[in-house]
Amino acid sequence: MKELNRFSFGATSSITTSLSIIVGLDATAHPKITIISALAILAIADNISDSLGIHIYRESEKAHQTTLHTFTNFFTRLVLTSIFAAIVLFLPNPVMVPVTIALGMIVLSVLSYGIAVDQKINPVKEILKHLCIAVIAMIVSHFVGEFIRLHFS
């Protein structure tokens, strides 16, 4: 399961951030183009920033395969964020949010399960813990979006 380690940060970051952006911007009642634009910026700028952060951190730890982990993180985030953007683009508004949330929660659960099994800890507890954190991020983003819509529209 060492391979899972290379994908874990990028996948988790992409899922939590993308879903929070989708839920938060959906609450502002902005058109899809705004959500897609935010996801595109996330897929590029935030992704490069996180990948550089991981690269520098791994270099400071004198870790092996630093470049491999950097590129794996970048491409994992790019692919997942692009999938979320495609869902937003092609599905109608009432369906896009639940579908993206469901997909994100499934991927996060599978990732959490794999890590828990690898570390020989309770998978259910780990899955629930990780899902709760992602849900909290989405709830906060929703309320921020609502606040912005109410006060700045």
Neighbours of 55 (CB within 10 A): 18
Indicate if the pLDDT at residue 36 is higher than 70.
Answer: yes
Is the CB of residue 115 less than 8 Å from the CB of residue 130? no
Tell which residue, 121, 131, 141, has the closest CA to residue 12: 131
Task: Tell me which residue range forms the domain holding 76.
Answer: 2-152
Confidence of residue 63 (pLDDT cuts 50, 70, 90): confident
Average pLDDT over residues 116-123: 92
Given this model, what pLDDT does residue 1 score? Answer: 54
Q: Give the contacts of 29 (CB within 8 A, at least 6 positions apart).
A: 149, 153
Task: Please give the single-letter amino acid code of residue 79.
Answer: V
Based on the structure, what is the number of domains in the chain?
1
Per-residue pLDDT, averaged over 100-106, amounts to 97
pTM of the predicted model as reported, rounded to 2 decimal places: 0.91
CA 134 to chain CA centroid, Å, is: 9
Give percent of the chain above pLDDT 70. 96
